[in-house]
Chain A
């Protein structure tokens, strides 16, 4: 065939970037970072090669879950502006290929985790992938406004898996890290849902603003942020970490509370819909990402300086 011959777009193989996009690389950075902190804080020693492999497995496991999420949610992704350009709804990757990619990576990441570390870490990785795919994506997401509250557990596993990869057992400290990410997830996602409300409404996803309205969502954001502050201080109160972390957690938590308060007090109509283009909610969403990175970075700094 000559190099100038024409070929239909549908016969073009997906670009490498499309396969990477299936793994939700931006979410993966947070997963890898929190997993690394779990590995770092755990007592004991893990060979660096095994630690890198464990981190890789957690990252690939998260990517596999994301790929399976995009396979299952392709119908609602297609009608949401924020997700319509993803590789599956945009037609650049066939749904079956995304499914096969996700299953292969999930199985490979779990087996490699078992081989490199221990069976407890492999089981936890399996549970986290299964929780995201079956509990969050397939069961909760389209049924209840509590979808991201319960589903948030899936994103809270990485620091626990990192810890267990080193020790082979659980401890209150990784459970506290789990709880912090768990309580961080609702204000993070509901801030996004406030300004992406029309998208979720169009797709029929019962996010809190769609079901309970923007006013109630603003109240819930403030409530969860207020709960998160004392919870984030618990590792310091219980003596698992030092004052550097304690001070950082207090400052960061107060900052998050200010953001949540601004979301609550945003200029709005009687239904709670923003009259400012949801500027405070967008700011709170950005802050929430920086908050989690900074909080876990403070854990690492505190640990290394202790």
Chain B
């Protein structure tokens, strides 16, 4: 069934936002891990 472009854009936007959240969360997690792990050596 053909769907209009609005649905396509909506899904692309949803996927991009989810990816952004995952990447930001991963950056925060790796930062926190680095702080904790490096803390052991001080």
A binds B: yes
A residues neighboring B (CB under 8 Å):
1-9, 11-16, 19, 47, 49-50, 53, 56, 115-116
CB pair A3 B9 closer than 8 Å:
yes
Q: B4 is contacted by which of A5, A56, A116 (Cβ under 8 Å)?
A: A5
CB pair B12 A6 closer than 8 Å:
no
Task: Tell whether B24 is near chain A: CB-to-CB under 8 Å.
Answer: no
CB pair B33 A116 closer than 8 Å:
yes
Chain A interface main SS type: mixed
Q: B5 is contacted by which of A1, A16, A19, A47 (Cβ under 8 Å)?
A: A1
Complex CA distance for A126 and B3, rounded to whole angstroms: 42
Chain B: interface residue count, which band? 20 to 34
CB pair A12 B4 closer than 8 Å:
no
Complex CA distance for A6 and B3, rounded to whole angstroms: 5
Chain B interface main SS type: helix
Additional pairs, 12, CB under 8 Å, beyond known A5-B5, A13-B12:
A3-B6, A4-B5, A6-B3, A6-B5, A7-B2, A7-B3, A7-B8, A9-B1, A16-B14, A16-B18, A49-B32, A49-B35
Complex CA distance for A24 and B6, rounded to whole angstroms: 28
Complex CA distance for A116 and B26, rounded to whole angstroms: 13
Complex CA distance for A120 and B7, rounded to whole angstroms: 46
Shortest Cβ-Cβ A-B pairs, 7 listed: A6-B2, A16-B18, A49-B32, A49-B36, A3-B5, A16-B14, A47-B36
- A116's nearest neighbour on chain B, judged by CB, is B33
Complex CA distance for A266 and B1, rounded to whole angstroms: 46
Instruction: List A contacts of B23 (CB < 8 A).
Output: none
Complex CA distance for A5 and B6, rounded to whole angstroms: 9
Instruction: List B contacts of A8 (CB < 8 A).
Output: 2-3
Instruction: List A contacts of B1 (CB < 8 A).
Output: 9
CB pair A4 B4 closer than 8 Å:
yes
Instruction: List B contacts of A15 (CB < 8 A).
Output: 11, 14-15
CB pair A50 B14 closer than 8 Å:
no
Q: 20 A-B residue contacts at CB 8 Å? A: A1-B5, A3-B4, A5-B4, A5-B5, A6-B2, A7-B3, A7-B7, A8-B2, A11-B8, A12-B7, A12-B11, A14-B11, A14-B15, A15-B14, A16-B14, A16-B17, A19-B18, A49-B32, A50-B36, A53-B29
